[in-house]
Amino acid sequence: MTTVSILSGGAAQGLVRGLTEAFKAQTGFGIAGEFGAVGVMAEKLRASTPADLVILTQTLLAKLAAEKLVTPSSIADVGRVETALAVRNRDPKVTVKTEADLREILRSADAIYVPDTKASTAGKHVAKVLDQLGIAYEITSRLKIFPNGATAMRELAASTATRPIGCTQATEIIATDGIALSGSLPPGCELVTMYSTGIATQATHPNEAAALIALLTGVDRRDLRQRMGFAS
């Protein structure tokens, strides 16, 4: 089967998966590509990795458009995604209303599952929050860092730790079996990121990429986006 190739932040993986059959029925094309930390995906595009479509943060996509790697007129917003906390399904959910609550929850966890703290949106934010809370050094040995949020959440689901917790983007939490969205980060620590999509300037299948953008951003798919953790 001919496929549209995408490079995408992990935040959009569940949404893309949910649209695969509709896209195939509409175009006859499948969807292939990579999902991961947005910084890594951007570098892949810069290194000429073949791609028809890119789904990354709004800010990063604008930079790629300025670098003439994404067609500016094709760019459309998918939705906002919050960075949130996750627990295994069998564990009680945590309530975090203040920075003090978050500091205590993280201190009490014996394993903290997060994505790449240098290249992923959520991972970089986690590192910033740990510094802000003054506990970065204290909990370093308990941080379990993985290449992207999806991998980190799968590892959380399989964790044998006594009191594990995860922190990544809500869409990655919702899309992972065995874990539950536990709650938002408190005021002062929150992060909400707009994700956008656009056609790569070197796209082999630009028409089909445009059709996928229409599915990703269309009004008739708003309910699916919301279920997958995207807000308007």
Residue 138: CATH number of its domain: 3.40.190.10
- In a domain, residue 25? The reply is yes
Residue 16, helix vs strand vs coil: helix
The verdict on 180 and 122 lying in the same domain is yes
The verdict on 76 and 149 lying in the same domain is no
Q: What is the span of the domain harbouring residue 115?
A: 81-184
The verdict on 145 and 216 lying in the same domain is no
- In a domain, residue 189? The reply is no
pLDDT of 152-178, one tens digit each? 999 999 999 999 999 999 999 999 999
Q: How far apart are CA 37 and CA 150, in angstroms?
A: 10
For residue 160, give every residue at least 6 positions away whose Cβ sits within 8 Å of its Cβ, in sequence order, or none: none
Tell me, what's the pLDDT at 226? 95
**Strand bridging mode 111-115 / 164-169:** parallel
Give φ, ψ of 198 to 5 degrees: -160, 165
Residue 36, helix vs strand vs coil: strand
Please state the rounded mean pLDDT for residues 206-214: 97
The verdict on 52 and 94 lying in the same domain is no
Structural tokens at position 222: 């708003």
Q: How far apart are CA 187 and CA 180, in angstroms?
A: 21
The verdict on 23 and 85 lying in the same domain is no
- In a domain, residue 232? The reply is no
Count Cα neighbours of 42 within 13 Å in the Cβ-side half-sphere.
Answer: 20
Tell me, what's the pLDDT at 74? 98
pLDDT of 8-19, one tens digit each? 999 999 999 999
User: How many domains, the chain?
Assistant: 2
Tell me, what's the pLDDT at 232? 82
180 confidence band (pLDDT: 50, 70, 90):
very high
The verdict on 73 and 87 lying in the same domain is no
> Residue 82's CB: how many other CB atoms inside 10 A?
18
The verdict on 161 and 217 lying in the same domain is no
The verdict on 27 and 115 lying in the same domain is no
Q: pTM (2 decimals)? A: 0.89
The verdict on 119 and 179 lying in the same domain is yes
- In a domain, residue 111? The reply is yes
The verdict on 7 and 31 lying in the same domain is yes
22 confidence band (pLDDT: 50, 70, 90):
very high
Is 200:70 a contact under the CB 8 Å cutoff? yes
The verdict on 51 and 97 lying in the same domain is no
CB burial class (10 A; 0-12, 13-18, 19+) of residue 158? Answer: exposed
What distance, in Å, lies between the first and last C-alpha atoms of the chain?
A: 33
Is 123:117 a contact under the CB 8 Å cutoff? yes
Residue 116, helix vs strand vs coil: coil
- Say how many residues make up the chain: 232
pLDDT of 108-147, one tens digit each? 999 999 999 998 999 999 999 999 999 999 999 999 999 9
The verdict on 71 and 94 lying in the same domain is no
- In a domain, residue 139? The reply is yes
